[in-house]
């Protein structure tokens, strides 16, 4: 097949968009669509190989898979080995075990299933996964395995003419399914093959149904439109759009038109883009681990430095590994040999023998031991120290940031009725946008809570604790508008305030305690403590205190409290921070169980402060009532 300089230049657009997006998504909010462009390119190239082979009756599955192994695995394998070696010296057991798990699944090309189960591509936890970007390689490899085998089987039954129409029909059905499924389960839709097939088949349709452009200006015009659509999508698309839904048609149609144009203009056929296109695979492989390192060690790397390192490592990968003629049997043997110690790292809890016993925990063991919420139930009404007939003193509501105080409540014999709903904001008129299942579960639970408050006329105080600034909200009046602190601060805060005001209006007869957002760590404290045990290479400092953070949501909560007599705002920072900053460690134990949730130690500190403030307020109210009673008597 003749080398297509236009496709090679298109690779440069795609990989640069992904790199810029991952470094700073605000610069290029839709840069992640570069992966979708890669899928179209891949589909075109694979379809051309397969149908030419079918046409000449020379298609061999063995040769097809062999060529894919030579193209994809060596550079990926080298990256995995480098990360595993570095991880031994620089990663604590939890992160090292996680890396081993990602490495195994990446080399087996099933990492997309792992990341689908563990997090969304845009979640805050995604930055802690050094091989997250390999999900797309897994999707492509799964396509490579299935696509030629199905076409070869169908070719024995149908003519090539029917086979081409079959590809067109499957692509159309896949697109319709994807648009529907992207709203029903967006995380699965993002990571799994069935909702990505249409993008690759769209590339195949280019080869099967090429446009016959006889005039050069037709080619140039089509190329201009294609590039414009792709670049346009970089700016109008963002991570809050269900993906890959119908909006994915913009960049993929752009790629479709550009490849159909088969042009040779300066837009793609220039020296810089041709080189970047050649290096694009290695650039894709190495840019994300550098993003991970930059974030993990808070290096605050400048973009120029980041680009220089990415290109340096990628050029080494390209010239030392990618273009070498590796024999398949040696590649497979190397994978098998490498997987043995990598699996050993996983089984030994991230080579936990490297650290002291108290740091040799898996993430599951650590959460069980340190997280204050434990296994206390969510999404159902429960009680801590219920009184006779399930009576109680307080109602506590909120998400996992509220549930984290359960062990504190139990230990201190606080009698509460709990309404805990993980990943759920107790809003009215707005629903939480996560995926269809979680959204409806959250909405239903919150509605039950408000109905219960209306029915029950008791005056039990409500203690409302949330990760107030974490969510993406959808208005019940405008389902197309998404609100989050990142993209629409003012509207998001207004939605939070409106929801709180509604709750206050329904509960005028009871006191409502609004608990604000505390200063969160800028690093994983437990991971830092365990990493500091490793070797003399580690210079990471686990600070006992960090500077106090100002979160605007606290100002809004305070303002609400100031306008209602029955609403009290409590700032948890007052219990966590002092003149030295906000405490991250106590007696060398972590205050946090992750990058946001409190450990049992942290919950004890802030929980004590919260209830001290509640007790002060209640004592003041009792004094005021007594004074009023005495005044009435006199």
Give a three-class secondary structure readout of 212-276. Answer: CCCCHHHHHHHHHHHHHHHHHHHHHCCCCCCCCCHHHHHHHHHHHHHHHHCCCCCCCCCHHHHHH
In a domain, 182, yes or no: yes
**Looking at 332, 353, 374, which one is the last position of a domain?**
353
User: In terms of domains, do 330 and 459 share one?
Assistant: no
Instruction: Determine contact, residues 92/530, Cβ cutoff 8 Å.
Output: yes
Nearest-angstrom CA–CA distance, 128 and 18 = 18
In a domain, 348, yes or no: yes
Burial (0-12, 13-18, 19+ Cβ within 10 Å), 256: buried
In a domain, 112, yes or no: yes
In a domain, 106, yes or no: yes
β-strands 462-465, 416-420: how paired?
Answer: unpaired
User: In terms of domains, do 267 and 391 share one?
Assistant: no
**Number of domains composing the chain:** 2
CB atoms within 10 A of CB 328: 14
In a domain, 288, yes or no: yes
Nearest-angstrom CA–CA distance, 514 and 500 = 9
The pLDDT value recorded for residue 436 is 43
Instruction: Indicate which CATH number applies to the domain containing 514.
Output: 3.40.50.1110
User: In terms of domains, do 345 and 388 share one?
Assistant: no
The pLDDT value recorded for residue 124 is 57
The pLDDT value recorded for residue 478 is 67
If you search the block for the tokens 């990602």, which residue do you land on? 102
Q: Which of 410, 433, 417, 420 is nearest to 380 (CA)?
A: 420
User: In terms of domains, do 307 and 412 share one?
Assistant: no
| Blockwise average pLDDT, block size 10, the chain, 634 residues | 89 98 95 97 96 91 95 97 94 91 97 85 71 97 96 92 94 94 86 96 96 84 95 92 92 96 89 96 98 88 97 97 94 96 95 83 79 86 89 94 95 95 86 62 90 85 93 73 67 90 90 96 82 64 86 94 95 94 89 89 95 95 81 72
**Looking at 353, 384, 401, which one is the last position of a domain?**
353
Entry pTM: 0.82
Q: Which of 424, 429, 598, 620 is nearest to 521 (CA)?
A: 598
DSSP-derived 3-state class of residue 566: coil
Instruction: Determine contact, residues 463/485, Cβ cutoff 8 Å.
Output: no
Instruction: Determine contact, residues 511/462, Cβ cutoff 8 Å.
Output: yes
Token pair in block for residue 463: 């203690």
Token pair in block for residue 397: 């509501």
User: In terms of domains, do 419 and 340 share one?
Assistant: no
CB atoms within 10 A of CB 95: 22
The pLDDT value recorded for residue 437 is 46
Token pair in block for residue 490: 């003012």
Nearest-angstrom CA–CA distance, 6 and 255 = 10
In a domain, 307, yes or no: yes
User: In terms of domains, do 349 and 375 share one?
Assistant: no
The pLDDT value recorded for residue 240 is 76
Token pair in block for residue 203: 């590339």
Token pair in block for residue 446: 């919150």
Instruction: Determine contact, residues 388/414, Cβ cutoff 8 Å.
Output: no
Cα→Cα distances 525→62, 92, 373, 400, 418, Å: 49, 11, 18, 19, 29
In a domain, 358, yes or no: no
The pLDDT value recorded for residue 84 is 97
The pLDDT value recorded for residue 434 is 63
Nearest-angstrom CA–CA distance, 411 and 157 = 71
**Looking at 329, 353, 377, which one is the last position of a domain?**
353
Nearest-angstrom CA–CA distance, 72 and 59 = 20
Q: Which residues contact 515 (CB under 8 A, 6 or more apart)?
A: 463, 464, 465, 466, 570, 572, 610
Strands (E), 386-485: 394-398, 416-420, 430-432, 462-465, 472-475, 482-484
The parent domain of residue 576 ranges over 363-633
Helices 363-370 and 93-107, packing angle to 10 deg: 140
User: In terms of domains, do 492 and 557 share one?
Assistant: yes
What string of DSSP letters covers 167-207?
HHHHHHHHHHHHHHHHHH-HHHHHHSGGGTHHHHHHHHHHH
Nearest-angstrom CA–CA distance, 31 and 192 = 20
Instruction: Determine contact, residues 21/283, Cβ cutoff 8 Å.
Output: no
User: In terms of domains, do 333 and 426 share one?
Assistant: no
Nearest-angstrom CA–CA distance, 442 and 431 = 8
User: In terms of domains, do 413 and 329 share one?
Assistant: no
User: In terms of domains, do 301 and 163 share one?
Assistant: yes
User: In terms of domains, do 371 and 257 share one?
Assistant: no
User: In terms of domains, do 427 and 308 share one?
Assistant: no
In a domain, 382, yes or no: yes
Cα→Cα distances 383→268, 304, 368, 374, 495, Å: 64, 55, 20, 14, 30
Strands (E), 422-534: 430-432, 462-465, 472-475, 482-484, 512-515
């Amino acid at each position: 097949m003749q080398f297509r300089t236009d496709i090679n230049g298109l690779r440069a657009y795609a990989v640069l968009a992904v790199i810029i997006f991952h470094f700073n998504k605000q610069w290029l909010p839709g840069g992640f669509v570069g992966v979708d462009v890669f899928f179209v390119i891949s589909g075109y190239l694979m379809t051309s190989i397969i149908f030419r082979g079918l046409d000449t009756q020379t298609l061999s599955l063995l040769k097809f898979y062999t060529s894919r192994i030579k193209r994809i695995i060596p550079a990926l394998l080298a990256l995995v080995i480098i990360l595993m070696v570095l991880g031994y010296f620089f990663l604590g057991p939890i992160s090292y075990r996680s890396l081993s798990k990602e490495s195994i699944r990446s080399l087996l090309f099933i990492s997309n299933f792992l990341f689908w189960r563990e997090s969304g591509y845009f979640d805050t936890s995604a930055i802690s996964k050094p091989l997250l970007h390999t999900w797309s390689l897994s999707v492509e490899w799964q396509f490579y395995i299935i696509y030629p085998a199905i076409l070869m089987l169908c070719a024995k039954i149908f003519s090539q003419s029917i086979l081409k129409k079959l590809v067109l029909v499957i692509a159309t059905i896949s697109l319709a399914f994807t648009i529907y499924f992207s709203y029903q389960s967006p995380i699965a839709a993002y990571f799994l093959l069935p909702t990505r097939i249409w993008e690759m088949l769209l590339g195949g349709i280019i080869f099967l149904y090429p446009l016959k452009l006889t005039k050069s200006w037709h080619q140039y015009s089509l190329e201009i439109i294609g590039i414009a659509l792709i670049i346009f999508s970089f700016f109008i698309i963002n991570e809050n759009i269900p993906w890959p839904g119908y909006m994915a048609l913009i960049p993929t149609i752009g790629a479709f038109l550009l490849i159909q144009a088969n042009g040779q203009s300066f837009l793609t056929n220039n020296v810089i883009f041709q080189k970047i296109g050649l290096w694009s695979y290695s650039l894709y492989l190495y840019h994300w681990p550098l993003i991970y390192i930059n974030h993990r060690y808070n290096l605050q790397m400048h973009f120029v430095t980041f680009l220089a390192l990415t290109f340096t490592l990628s050029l080494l990968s390209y010239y030392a590994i990618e273009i070498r003629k590796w024999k398949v049997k040696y590649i497979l043997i190397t994978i098998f040999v490498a997987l043995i110690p990598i699996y050993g790292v996983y089984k030994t809890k991230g080579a936990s023998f490297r650290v002291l016993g108290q740091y040799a925990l898996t993430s599951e063991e650590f959460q069980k031991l340190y997280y204050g919420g434990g296994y206390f139930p969510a999404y159902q009404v429960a009680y801590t120290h219920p009184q006779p007939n399930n009576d109680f003193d307080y109602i506590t509501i909120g998400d996992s940031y509220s549930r984290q105080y359960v062990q504190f409540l139990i230990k201190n014999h606080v009698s509460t009725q709990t309404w805990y709903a993980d990943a759920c904001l107790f809003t009215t008129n707005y629903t939480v946008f996560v995926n269809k299942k979680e959204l409806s579960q959250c909405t239903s639970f919150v509605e039950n809570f408000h109905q219960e408050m209306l029915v029950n006329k008791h005056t039990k105080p409500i203690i409302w604790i949330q990760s107030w600034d974490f969510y993406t909200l959808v208005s019940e009046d405008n389902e197309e508008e998404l609100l989050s602190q990142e993209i629409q601060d003012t509207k998001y805060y207004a939605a939070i305030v409106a929801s709180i005001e509604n709750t206050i209006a329904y509960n005028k007869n009871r006191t409502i305690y609004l608990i604000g957002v505390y200063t969160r760590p800028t690093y994983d404290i437990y991971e830092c403590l365990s990493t500091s045990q490793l070797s003399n290479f580690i210079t990471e400092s686990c600070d006992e205190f960090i500077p106090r953070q100002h979160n605007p949501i606290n100002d809004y909560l305070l303002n609400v409290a100031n306008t209602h007599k029955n609403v009290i705002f409590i700032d948890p920072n007052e219990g966590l921070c002092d003149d030295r900053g906000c405490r991250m460690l106590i007696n060398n134990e972590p205050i946090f169980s992750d990058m946001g949730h409190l450990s049992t130690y942290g919950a004890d500190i802030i929980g004590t402060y919260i209830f001290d403030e509640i007790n002060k307020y209640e004592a003041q109210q009792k004094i005021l009532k007594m004074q009023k009673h005495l005044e009435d008597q006199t």
